[in-house]
Amino acid sequence: MVMVSIAPSRHTLQLIKEFGEFAVNIVSERLADAASNIFGYLSGRDTDKFARAGIEPERARAVRAPVIREAPVVLECRVRQYVAAGDHVLVLGEVVAAYRNSDEKPVTWLNGQVRRLL
Ligand SMILES: Cc1cc2nc3c(=O)[nH]c(=O)nc-3n(C[C@H](O)[C@H](O)[C@H](O)COP(=O)(O)O)c2cc1C
Protein backbone atom coordinates (compact mmCIF):
# COMPACT_ATOMS: atom_id res chain seq x y z
CA MET A 1 0.00 0.00 0.00
CA VAL A 2 1.08 3.60 -0.55
CA MET A 3 -0.48 6.81 0.66
CA VAL A 4 -0.66 10.18 -1.08
CA SER A 5 -2.07 13.31 0.52
CA ILE A 6 -4.04 15.54 -1.86
CA ALA A 7 -5.89 18.82 -1.35
CA PRO A 8 -9.58 18.67 -2.35
CA SER A 9 -9.09 21.58 -4.79
CA ARG A 10 -6.71 19.54 -6.99
CA HIS A 11 -7.85 18.26 -10.35
CA THR A 12 -5.77 15.17 -9.54
CA LEU A 13 -8.11 14.25 -6.69
CA GLN A 14 -11.13 14.64 -8.96
CA LEU A 15 -9.57 12.20 -11.47
CA ILE A 16 -8.58 9.70 -8.78
CA LYS A 17 -12.16 9.73 -7.47
CA GLU A 18 -13.57 9.29 -10.97
CA PHE A 19 -11.32 6.35 -11.91
CA GLY A 20 -10.48 4.83 -8.52
CA GLU A 21 -6.87 4.49 -9.69
CA PHE A 22 -3.67 6.52 -9.82
CA ALA A 23 0.03 6.24 -10.60
CA VAL A 24 2.98 7.54 -8.61
CA ASN A 25 5.90 8.48 -10.84
CA ILE A 26 9.13 9.01 -8.89
CA VAL A 27 11.35 11.21 -11.02
CA SER A 28 15.09 11.54 -11.59
CA GLU A 29 17.17 14.72 -11.40
CA ARG A 30 16.62 15.20 -15.14
CA LEU A 31 12.82 15.28 -14.65
CA ALA A 32 12.84 17.26 -11.37
CA ASP A 33 12.42 20.63 -13.06
CA ALA A 34 9.32 19.49 -14.98
CA ALA A 35 7.99 17.83 -11.80
CA SER A 36 8.13 20.99 -9.71
CA ASN A 37 7.52 23.70 -12.32
CA ILE A 38 4.97 21.97 -14.56
CA PHE A 39 3.39 18.84 -13.02
CA GLY A 40 3.52 20.26 -9.49
CA TYR A 41 2.61 23.83 -10.36
CA LEU A 42 0.09 23.96 -13.24
CA SER A 43 -3.35 22.34 -13.12
CA GLY A 44 -4.49 19.55 -15.41
CA ARG A 45 -7.87 21.25 -15.32
CA ASP A 46 -6.73 23.78 -17.93
CA THR A 47 -3.29 22.59 -19.10
CA ASP A 48 -1.99 19.46 -20.80
CA LYS A 49 1.02 19.06 -18.53
CA PHE A 50 2.59 16.27 -20.57
CA ALA A 51 2.52 18.43 -23.74
CA ARG A 52 3.85 21.42 -21.79
CA ALA A 53 6.76 19.34 -20.47
CA GLY A 54 7.44 17.76 -23.87
CA ILE A 55 6.88 14.30 -22.39
CA GLU A 56 4.87 11.66 -24.21
CA PRO A 57 2.31 10.06 -21.83
CA GLU A 58 2.77 6.31 -21.66
CA ARG A 59 0.04 3.71 -21.14
CA ALA A 60 0.23 2.19 -17.67
CA ARG A 61 0.31 -1.61 -17.24
CA ALA A 62 -2.61 -2.08 -14.83
CA VAL A 63 -4.41 1.27 -14.38
CA ARG A 64 -5.84 3.93 -16.67
CA ALA A 65 -3.70 6.83 -15.41
CA PRO A 66 -0.88 7.76 -17.80
CA VAL A 67 2.70 7.27 -16.62
CA ILE A 68 6.04 8.89 -17.42
CA ARG A 69 8.11 6.60 -19.61
CA GLU A 70 11.47 7.89 -18.29
CA ALA A 71 10.51 7.76 -14.57
CA PRO A 72 12.97 5.60 -12.62
CA VAL A 73 10.14 4.22 -10.44
CA VAL A 74 6.46 3.80 -11.25
CA LEU A 75 3.85 2.57 -8.74
CA GLU A 76 0.42 1.88 -10.21
CA CYS A 77 -2.29 1.90 -7.54
CA ARG A 78 -5.95 1.07 -7.00
CA VAL A 79 -7.71 3.15 -4.34
CA ARG A 80 -8.62 1.24 -1.20
CA GLN A 81 -9.60 4.09 1.14
CA TYR A 82 -9.98 7.85 1.49
CA VAL A 83 -9.29 9.46 4.88
CA ALA A 84 -10.22 13.10 5.50
CA ALA A 85 -7.30 14.81 7.23
CA GLY A 86 -7.55 18.54 7.81
CA ASP A 87 -7.07 20.42 4.54
CA HIS A 88 -5.97 17.30 2.62
CA VAL A 89 -7.43 13.88 1.82
CA LEU A 90 -5.23 10.83 2.44
CA VAL A 91 -5.62 8.45 -0.47
CA LEU A 92 -4.57 4.87 0.34
CA GLY A 93 -3.79 2.78 -2.69
CA GLU A 94 -2.91 -0.85 -3.21
CA VAL A 95 0.09 -1.19 -5.52
CA VAL A 96 -1.00 -3.35 -8.46
CA ALA A 97 2.16 -2.86 -10.55
CA ALA A 98 5.62 -1.58 -9.62
CA TYR A 99 8.60 -1.26 -11.93
CA ARG A 100 11.64 0.74 -12.96
CA ASN A 101 11.61 2.48 -16.33
CA SER A 102 15.18 3.77 -16.24
CA ASP A 103 18.41 3.30 -14.32
CA GLU A 104 18.59 6.95 -13.31
CA LYS A 105 18.57 7.68 -9.57
CA PRO A 106 15.18 8.59 -8.09
CA VAL A 107 14.99 11.94 -6.26
CA THR A 108 12.71 13.52 -3.67
CA TRP A 109 11.84 17.05 -2.61
CA LEU A 110 13.11 17.82 0.89
CA ASN A 111 13.36 21.21 2.61
CA GLY A 112 12.98 23.02 -0.70
CA GLN A 113 15.68 21.00 -2.44
CA VAL A 114 15.88 18.09 -4.85
CA ARG A 115 17.67 15.21 -3.08
CA ARG A 116 18.74 11.78 -4.26
CA LEU A 117 16.86 8.89 -2.64
CA LEU A 118 19.51 6.23 -3.33
C1 LIG B 1 7.36 19.40 -4.81
C2 LIG B 1 5.85 19.54 -4.78
C3 LIG B 1 5.10 18.70 -3.97
C4 LIG B 1 3.70 18.81 -3.91
N5 LIG B 1 3.00 17.95 -3.10
C6 LIG B 1 1.66 18.04 -3.06
C7 LIG B 1 0.91 17.15 -2.24
O8 LIG B 1 1.46 16.28 -1.55
N9 LIG B 1 -0.45 17.26 -2.24
C10 LIG B 1 -1.10 18.21 -2.98
O11 LIG B 1 -2.34 18.27 -2.94
N12 LIG B 1 -0.41 19.08 -3.76
C13 LIG B 1 0.93 19.02 -3.82
N14 LIG B 1 1.65 19.89 -4.59
C15 LIG B 1 0.92 20.94 -5.34
C16 LIG B 1 0.23 20.41 -6.59
O17 LIG B 1 1.11 19.56 -7.31
C18 LIG B 1 -0.18 21.61 -7.48
O19 LIG B 1 -1.16 22.37 -6.80
C20 LIG B 1 -0.69 21.20 -8.85
O21 LIG B 1 -0.80 22.39 -9.62
C22 LIG B 1 -2.04 20.47 -8.80
O23 LIG B 1 -2.40 20.12 -10.11
P24 LIG B 1 -3.82 19.52 -10.49
O25 LIG B 1 -4.86 20.62 -10.30
O26 LIG B 1 -3.69 19.08 -11.92
O27 LIG B 1 -4.10 18.39 -9.55
C28 LIG B 1 3.04 19.79 -4.69
C29 LIG B 1 3.80 20.63 -5.52
C30 LIG B 1 5.19 20.50 -5.57
C31 LIG B 1 5.99 21.42 -6.51
Residue 62 pLDDT: 98
From ligand 1's centre to the CA of 4, what distance in Å?
Answer: 11
pTM over 0.85: yes
Residues of the chain with pLDDT below 50 are none
Question: pLDDT digit string (tens) for 65-86?
Answer: 999 999 999 999 999 999 999 9
Q: If we measure between CA atoms, which residue out of 12, 10, 31 comes closest to residue 22?
A: 12
Q: Is 36 in the pocket of ligand 1 (CB under 6 A)?
A: yes
Neighbours of 22 (CB within 10 A): 24
For ligand 1, atom 5, name the residue with the nearest CA. 40
- Class of the CATH-defined domain 2-116: mainly beta
Residue 101 pLDDT: 87
> What are the residue ranges spanned by the domains of the chain?
2-116
CA pair distance 116, 118, nearest whole angstrom = 6
